[in-house]
């Protein structure tokens, strides 16, 4: 069991998400050496850590996860971090199908 309590689901998500769900950087392997910002992390799209549904969890890099924190996804997408030239993370640039589906199903 991992620290998120996801068990086998985490392994499935790791196989599914090879790139950060937001900025698409190739993340390094768990516990391997390399840039901290490229370390893989678990992100709950609706910020509910108890919602362990596969459609609510994506892998993202430490940089994106740290920036997002507990912000709502749409609010975070409006942040300076996402808008910066290097990142350019918007609803249109996100390629991860889980995130796209989440945004479509959770329109404000």
pLDDT in tens, 46-74: 887 777 888 899 999 999 999 999 999 99
Tokens of 7: 């068990």
Average pLDDT, rounded, for the chain: 86
**Distance set, CA 56 to CA 44, 80, 106 (Å):** 6, 24, 11
> What gap in Å lies between CA 48 and CA 51, rounded to an integer?
5
Give the per-residue pLDDT at 49.
Answer: 77
> What gap in Å lies between CA 55 and CA 52, rounded to an integer?
8
Per-residue pLDDT tens for 6-28?
Answer: 778 888 888 889 899 999 998 87
Residues 6+ apart with CB under 8 A from 95: 24
Domain boundary assignment for the chain: 8-105
Q: Is the pLDDT of residue 32 over 90?
A: no
8 Å CB contact between 62 and 39: yes
Residue 61, class by beta-carbon neighbours within 10 Å (0-12 exposed, 13-18 middle, 19+ buried)? buried
Q: Is the pLDDT of residue 92 over 70?
A: yes
Of the chain, the percentage scoring pLDDT greater than 90 comes to 51
> What gap in Å lies between CA 86 and CA 106, rounded to an integer?
27
């Amino acid at each position: 069991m991992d620290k998120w309590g996801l068990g086998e689901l985490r392994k499935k998500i790791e196989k599914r998400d090879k790139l950060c769900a937001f900025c698409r950087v190739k993340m390094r392997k768990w516990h391997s050496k390399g840039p901290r910002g490229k370390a893989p992390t678990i992100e709950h799209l609706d910020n509910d850590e108890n919602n362990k549904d596969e459609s609510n969890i994506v892998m993202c890099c430490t940089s994106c996860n740290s920036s997002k924190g507990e912000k709502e996804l749409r609010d975070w997408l409006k942040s300076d971090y996402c808008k910066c030239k290097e990142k350019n993370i918007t609803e249109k640039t996100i390629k991860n199908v889980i995130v796209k589906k989440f945004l479509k199903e959770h329109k404000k």
